[in-house]
Amino acid sequence: MKMFVNIKIESDCCQSFGVCGEQFSLDIIFDDFGAVTSSRFRFQHTTQKSQQDYIDGLVETRRVTDEYAKKLIPNTSTLVKTEA
């Protein structure tokens, strides 16, 4: 993923195939070992022309996020332990 976010918009790969990650470089934070510690999730599936389109997009984003979240495995090495 770190290599992907370093692919520049001006690169042949991006210009020819639309595959470049530079625009996402500020959305992903890596730790000192190269593991992703946090990211911003962006999801847009249709053009939003009205307030209802925007609301429908938010609802669909939440539905998809909830569905994929079930499959995620937490990285327990980065969790902060608190006293109970």
For residue 62, pLDDT over 80 is answered with: yes
Q: How many CA atoms lie within 13 A of 16 on its CB side?
A: 4
Per the structure, the count of domains in the chain is: 2
For residues 34 and 17, membership in a common domain is answered with yes
For residues 2 and 25, membership in a common domain is answered with yes
**Which structural domain, as residue segments, surrounds residue 10?**
1-40
84 inside domain: no
Q: What is the pTM of this model?
A: 0.42
The distance from CA 66 to its chain's CA centroid, rounded to whole angstroms, is 14
For residues 32 and 8, membership in a common domain is answered with yes
For residues 49 and 74, membership in a common domain is answered with yes
- Which runs of consecutive H residues, i.e. helices, occur in the chain? 2-5, 12-17, 51-69
For residues 28 and 52, membership in a common domain is answered with no
Per residue in 33-56, pLDDT tens? 888 887 776 666 667 789 998 888
Residue 9 in contact with residue 22, Cβ under 8 Å?
yes
